[in-house]
Amino acid sequence: MSHDIETLLYTPEHEWVHVDGDVVTFGITDHAAEQLGDVVFVDLPAVGGTVTAGQVCGEIESTKSVGELYAPVTGRVLEVNGAVDADPSAVNADPYGDAWLVRVQLEGDLPELLDRSAYAQLIGAAS
Amino acid sequence: MSDPRSTAPPRSTVLRPRHEALGASFTDFGGWDMPVRYTSDLAEHHAVRTAAGLFDISHMGEFLVTGADAAPFLDEVLAGRISTMRVGKAKYSLVLAEDGGIIDDVIVYRIAEDRFLVIANAGNRDAVAAAFAERVPHPGLVEDVSDHFALIAVQGPAARAVLEATAGVEDVDPSLDRLGYYAFAAATFAGEALFVARTGYTGEDGFELLVSNRHAPALWDALLAAGTPLGLVPAGLAARDTLRLEAGMPLYGHELSRDIRPAQAGLSRVVAVDKPSFVGKVGVDPVETAPVLVGLVSEGRRAGRAGYDVYDGDIRVGEVTSGALSPTLGHPIAMAYVDPAASAAGTVLHIDVRGTRIPATVTDLPFYRRNP
Percent over 90 (pLDDT), chain B: 97
- Nearest chain A alpha carbon to B238: A64
Overall number of domains in chain A = 1
Given a cut of 60, is residue B145 above it in pLDDT? Answer: yes
**Same domain (yes/no): B224, B332:** no
CA pair distance B145, B211, nearest whole angstrom: 11
**Closest residue in chain A to residue B43, using alpha carbons only:** A38
Residue A51 lies in a domain: yes
Residue A114: inside a domain, yes or no? no
Mean of the pLDDT values across residues B151-179?
97
Domain holding A59, by residue range, is 9-109
Q: Could you say which of B41, B301, B354 has the minimum Cβ distance to residue A38?
A: B41
Range(s) of the domain holding residue B190: 16-56+147-246
CB–CB contact A64 B241 (8 Å): yes
The CA distance from B118 to B109, in Å, is 6
Same domain, B173 and B37: yes
Contact by Cβ (8 Å): B226, B165:
yes
Q: Is residue B124 part of a domain?
A: no
**Average confidence score pLDDT of chain B:** 96
Q: What band does B1 get if pLDDT is binned at 50, 70 and 90?
A: very low
Stated pTM of the model? 0.92
Q: What is the pLDDT of residue B27?
A: 93
- Residue numbers in B near A63 (CB within 8 A): 41-42, 45, 238, 242, 324-325, 327
The closest of A54, A64, A7 to A33, measured between CA atoms, is A64
Question: Is residue B317 one of the residues assigned to a domain?
Answer: yes
Degrees, nearest 5: CA angle B38-B4-B32: 35
Instruction: Print the SS3 string covering chain A.
Output: CCCCCCCCEECCCCEEEEEECCEEEEEECHHHHHHHCCEEEEECCCCCCEECCCCEEEEEEECCCEEEEECCCCEEEEEECHHHHHCCCHHHHCCCCCCCCEEEEECCCCCCCECHHHHHHHHHHHC
Q: Closest Cα of chain A to B35: distance in Å? A: 12
The span from the CA of B297 to the CA of A118, in Å, is 44
Residue B221 lies in a domain: yes
Q: Which residues of A are less than 8 Å from B241 in CB distance?
A: 64
Q: Between A41, A63, A89, which is nearest B302 by CB? A: A41
Same domain, B170 and B316: no
Cβ–Cβ < 8 Å for B205, B160: yes
Residue B346 falls inside a structural domain: yes
- Residue B85 contacts A, CB cutoff 8 Å: no
Å from B14 to nearest chain A CA? 22
User: How sure is the predictor about B2, in pLDDT bands with cuts at 50, 70 and 90?
Assistant: very low
In-domain check, residue A126: no
DSSP structure class, residue B127: H
CATH number reported for the structural domain that contains residue B186 in this entry: 3.30.1360.120
Distance of residue A90 Cα from the nearest chain B Cα, in angstroms: 13
Taking the C-alpha atoms of residue B18 and residue B217, their distance in angstroms, rounded to an integer, is: 7
Residues of B in contact with A61 (CB under 8 A): 301-303, 325
Q: Chain A residues within 8 A (CB-CB) of chain B? A: 34, 37-38, 40-41, 43, 59, 61-64, 66, 89, 92
One domain, residues B208 and B315: no
For B281-288, what is the mean pLDDT? 92
Q: B32 and B166, same structural domain?
A: yes
In this complex, the residue of A34, A37, A41 whose CB is nearest that of residue B301 is A41
Residues of B in contact with A92 (CB under 8 A): 40
- The answer on B239 and B166 residing in a single domain is yes
Mark which of B246, B273, B306 sits at the end of a domain.
B246
In B3-42, the residues whose Cβ lies within 8 Å of chain A are 25, 36-37, 40-42
pLDDT per residue over B167-205, tens digit each? 999 999 999 999 999 999 999 999 999 999 999 999 999
In this prediction, residues A56-84 reach a mean pLDDT of 95
Please say if the pLDDT value at position B20 is more than 80: yes
Question: Quick one: pLDDT at residue A113?
Answer: 96
| pLDDT over 50 at B87, yes or no | yes
ipTM: 0.81
Alpha-carbon distance of A18 to A34, in angstroms, equals 20
Domain termination residue (choose one: B225, B246, B267): B246
Q: Are strands A56-62 and A50-51 parallel, antiparallel or unpaired?
A: unpaired
Phi, psi of A53 (to 5 degrees): -50, 130
| Position A2 in a domain | no
Q: Is the pLDDT of residue B64 over 50?
A: yes
Q: Is residue B226 part of a domain?
A: yes
Contact A61 B325 (CB under 8 A): yes
What residues pair up with B297 in beta bridges, in sequence order?
B333, B361
- Using the Cβ of B86 and the Cβ atoms of chain A, whether some distance falls under 8 Å is answered with no
Residue B122 lies in a domain: no
Give residues 316 to 335 of B whose Cβ lies within 8 Å of A.
324-325, 327
Contact B202, B46 (CB under 8 A): no
Q: Would the pLDDT of A1 be above 80? A: no
- pLDDT one-digit tens code per residue, B46-62: 999 999 999 999 999 99
Residues B303 and B161 placed together within one structural domain of the fold:
no
Shared-domain flag, residues B151 and B50 = yes
A87 in any annotated domain: yes
Angle at alpha carbon of residue A67, lines to A35 and B360, rounded to 5° = 120
Q: Is residue A23 part of a domain?
A: yes
B155 and B238 fall within a common domain:
yes
Q: Residue B311 carries which side chain, given as an amino acid letter? A: Y
Report the CATH number that the domain containing residue B319 is assigned in CATH.
2.40.30.110
B36 and A37 in contact by Cβ < 8 A?
Answer: yes
B90/A20 Cα distance (integer angstroms): 64
Last residue of a domain, one of B215, B246, B277: B246
pLDDT band per the 50, 70, 90 thresholds, residue A60: very high
Q: B45 — contact with chain A (CB < 8 Å)? A: yes
A-B Cβ pairs (cutoff 8 Å, strict): 41
Q: What are phi and psi of B118, to 5 degrees?
A: -120, 120
Q: Report pLDDT for A127.
A: 43
Evaluate whether residue B44 is within a structural domain: yes
CA angle B353, B359, B365 (to 5 degrees): 95
A109-112, Cβ contacts within 8 angstroms, sequence gap of 24 or more: A110/A19, A110/A24, A110/A73, A111/A53, A111/A54, A111/A72, A111/A73, A111/A74
Model confidence pLDDT, tens digit, residues B288-345: 999 999 999 999 999 999 999 999 999 999 999 999 999 999 999 999 999 999 999 9
3-class secondary structure, B198: coil
Closest CA to B118 of B187, B66, B65, B194: B65
Q: Distance between CA atoms of B55 and B259, rounded to whole angstroms?
A: 30
Q: Are residues B46 and B158 in the same domain?
A: yes
Is the confidence at residue A112, as pLDDT, over 90?
Answer: yes
Beta strands in chain B (DSSP E): 25-29, 32-37, 52-56, 61-66, 90-96, 102-112, 115-120, 142-144, 149-155, 169-173, 184-189, 192-197, 206-212, 232-234, 292-297, 309-312, 315-325, 332-338, 348-353, 356-363
Whether B238 sits inside 8 A of A37 (CB atoms) is yes
Question: Which ranges of chain B does DSSP label H, i.e. alpha helix?
Answer: 16-21, 41-50, 70-77, 125-135, 159-165, 216-227, 237-246
Which residues in chain A are contacts of B324 at CB distance < 8 A? 63-64
- The total number of structural domains in chain B stands at 2
**pLDDT tens digits along B252-279:** 999 999 999 999 999 999 999 999 999 9
In-domain check, residue A119: no
CATH code (residue A31): 2.40.50.100
At B222, which amino acid appears?
Answer: A
